[in-house]
Amino acid sequence: MQKKTYTGQPVVTLNNGVDIPALGFGVWQMDDLKECENAVIKAIQTGYRMIDTAAIYQNETAVGAAVKNSGVDREALFITSKVWVQDHGYKKAKSAFQRTLDRLQMDYLDMYLIHWPYGDFLGTWKALEELYQEGKIKAIGVCNFTIEKLEELKADSTILPVINQIELHPVFQQKELQVYDRDNNIVTEPWSPLGNGNAGLLSNHDLKSIAGKYGKTVAQVILRWHLQEGFVVIPKSVTPSRIEENFNVFDFELTEEEMNVVRSLDTGKRLFFDPKDPEWEQKMLKSVADI
């Protein structure tokens, strides 16, 4: 397949040579399927070309419908989904992937990720490697993998993940994992890049001062920081004006001093789930969803 181009926006080149738009659109927690479909259509019409969903979000059908109704060709878009823990293992992952394609009404994915590093994720990775080699997936990667889990995967695989999608925002920056990803040619992709609307972050005096200088919002400054760090970033919103605002970050650039202001906000404390938490791991291994 010919290499895709995404006019008018920056891309990040993955370790297999595939380009991914640096700014995408996430649909986590969009439970209302019509609202999700409308949000994705709005995002695509705004200019987003990368959409990130997952089997466990239970909105792949809405994403697929939005792509069909967006007025933009499927070939011009970069679509990502993820395999859930209950479908880990070689055979189950193959079946889960086909169900994802069926729900999306597509015959290939641009990227498919392992959602959490639990259970037989090594068997799952072998399934993803084969699907990649067959051309059904253009790039394969992981989410929420620690350095230890990435080392385990690397020792038992022939293809390196292109991306590690992790919780990362100004108050939790995972700097050691950032360095590991970079050293291993894995792109870091923050989820919840705005800190899930963290009140202290969005009202931070220094960030408001930077935003005022450029005539931007604090959220736009944070997204710009992510982009300049070399990350692929996937903000989400169902509000049309916010969808547009989050995309309007290509017409200014932070100075190194301003970048350091954002870097200095790191507290080292998560807002969400810790992949190393044994209770969370057991909860995930026992989770069952109709996917």
Residue 19, strand partner residues:
13
**What are the structure tokens assigned to 260, written together?**
């350091």
For the chain, give the number of residues: 291
Question: What distances in angstroms separate CA 59 from CA 79, 93, 98, one per listed residue?
Answer: 13, 19, 15
Active site residue 90: no
Give first-to-last CA distance, the chain, whole Å: 30
Q: Is 27 exposed, middle or buried (0-12, 13-18, 19+ CB in 10 A)?
A: buried
User: Which among 6, 48, 57, 180 is annotated as catalytic?
Assistant: 57
d(CA 183, CA 262): 22
Q: Give me the DSSP letters along 123-190.
A: HHHHHHHHHHHTTSBS-EEEES--HHHHHHHHHT-SS--SEEEEE-BTTB--HHHHHHHHHTT-EEEE
The residues assigned a catalytic role are 57
